[in-house]
Structure 1
Amino acid sequence: MRLGSILGVLRSVMIYYNPALMRRNRQLYQTLIVPGDLTFDIGAHVGTRARALRHCGARVVAFEPQPVFASFLRWTLPRDIILVAAALGKTETRAQMAVSQRHPTVSSLRDSLPDEARTMPGFEHVRWDSRAEVTVTTLDAMIAAHGVPRYIKIDVEGYEAEVLAGLSRPVSLVSFEYLPGLPQASAGVLARLAELGSYEFNVVRGENAGFDWPDWRDMASLRNWLGQQAPDSGSGDIYARLIAA
């Protein structure tokens, strides 16, 4: 294992294993799921979201394709969290992931990300200096193996639409990362969600782990809000809740 990879893991652990942040994540998830719900954590990284979901009583399947982080999770996650050392995409295949050893949280299967990030605020010091061949499976295949999740969390650095391309049915709740400097990625996710079902939305800015809006809003309102975000306003998560027929 390269020294840079080890330092990247340690850096992520120091950032994300923050007691206050983990507590806020648990508080948010407690408003969204009930004990026994099946949840998918796609892009599990160092496992803090998976742990927060488990704390709330959810059954968790965690997906992490980066070998160094999959190894970390294999040794550190509670045994009742299922770990799948694979990425999610449109088809089952093998793919090359662009890896930043110093900032491994922004490693991605999005081929264009290293070029797109050159002009994105906050990415000035990121270098994708390595590649890893990873297994790619699909949401449909994982649903066949594990069941239909109540909630799918996706954080895969601009590859979210491709993850949802491997899903052929709506699920009750989806969250995905938005990057103001990469609006086309969010647009692709919203287009795919519209194909799957009728959703309403809310927003979490940064790592606040609390909803920005007092109510859930329609897609037009979300698109308008996204269009008003400055490229340097910081990332966050968009939550999409299926509207009952």
Structure 2
Amino acid sequence: MFGRAYGVARSLVMYHGVPGQHRRMLRFYREFLGPGDLGFDIGAHVGSRVRAWRRLGSRVIAVEPQPDCLRVLRLFFGRDENVTLVPTAVGARAGRARLALSSATPTVSSMSRDWIDSVVADRRFARIRWDRSVEVPVTTLDDLIATYGTPVFCKIDVEGFETEVLEGLTEPLRALSFEYLPPAHDAALTALDLVERLGTTAGGYQYNYSPIETMRFASERWLDAGELVRLLDRFRPLGRSGDVYARTRRA
């Protein structure tokens, strides 16, 4: 129990306690969301994005399967009528699945065994342990859209399960992001390919990259898929994780 409490407290400090981080988020996400817009936060964790998006006046669907994180989200946003908390995972199809939990570092809890196996070889993950698991319900992005509407922006941060999440989406979104981790480079390329396919009916996507929690784009201009891959190849040896951002060329 101590390890779980420590893990949640650590996440709260990391995502809510860093001076200036919230202001950087507000400036950054203004490019994607505004008053009355709908945002999907897939892997809401302890709600740092939810907090920023609400300050921008957006409505938020916050999807999070981890029980401890859900308790935090309910405490922070349970009375906000413009935040809907969805206690599920998201994948390629609806059903149930097991979520591997890291009590001390809940930010790396994952539903992807392959992702866990790929990152444990990285020295930064050497001390991380996935010490328990829970069975959780799984929905799809298509089902979420059918229930709540199409988001203006969708953030996907699900520790190696991004490909499965995107496989459950059949319509292009105006803008989205997914996490990039250098030890799982090939999985990110698969996710990028899925986004590219979705974009064929929306005039195509353009891309940028934000290194971890900097809330800044690595490129001064938006890139095509090939240029993005070359950019990620420069960050890969540095071990710098972050998020890939995609927006339709008509955005």
Identify whether the pair has TM-score above 0.5, normalized to the shorter chain: yes
Question: Which residue of structure 1 lines up, in the alignment, with residue 93 of structure 2?
Answer: 91
Contact 2:32 2:152 in 1 (8 A): no
How far the C-alpha of 1:37 sits from its partner, in A, is 0.9
Structure 2, unmatched stretches of 5+, are none
1:208 pairs, out of 194, 214, 220, with 214
Contact 1:120 1:232 in 2 (8 A): no
SS at match of 2:182: coil
How far the C-alpha of 1:211 sits from its partner, in A, is 1.3
Q: Identity over the aligned pairs, expressed in percent?
A: 43
SS at match of 2:172: coil
Question: Which residue of structure 1 lines up, in the alignment, with residue 149 of structure 2?
Answer: 147
Question: Which residue of structure 2 lines up, in the alignment, with residue 74 of structure 1?
Answer: 74
Instruction: Please list, as runs of the form range in 1=range in 2, the aligned pairs for 1:160-199 lying within 5 A after superposition.
Output: 160-197=162-199, 198-199=204-205
1:63 and 2:63 correspond: yes
Deviation sequence 1:170-225 (CA, Å, 0-9, x none) = 00001111001110121111111011011100111111101121110100101112
- Length-normalised TM-score, structure 1: 0.96
Rounded to whole Å, the distance in 2 between the matches of 1:46 and 1:209 is: 18
Q: Which amino acid aligns with 1:12?
A: S
Rounded to whole Å, the distance in 1 between the matches of 2:194 and 2:179 is: 15
Structure 1, unmatched stretches of 5+, are none
Rounded to whole Å, the distance in 1 between the matches of 2:172 and 2:218 is: 24
**Pair 216,12 (structure 1): closer, same or farther in 2 beyond 3 Å:** same
Kindly tell me the number of residue pairs found equivalent between the two proteins.
Answer: 244
Rounded to whole Å, the distance in 2 between the matches of 1:4 and 1:113 is: 23
SS at match of 2:145: helix
How far the C-alpha of 1:3 sits from its partner, in A, is 2.4
Question: Which residue of structure 2 lines up, in the alignment, with residue 242 of structure 1?
Answer: 248
Rounded to whole Å, the distance in 2 between the matches of 1:48 and 1:227 is: 28
How far the C-alpha of 1:226 sits from its partner, in A, is 1.7
Deviation sequence 1:116-169 (CA, Å, 0-9, x none) = 122124211111111111111001111011000000001111111110111110
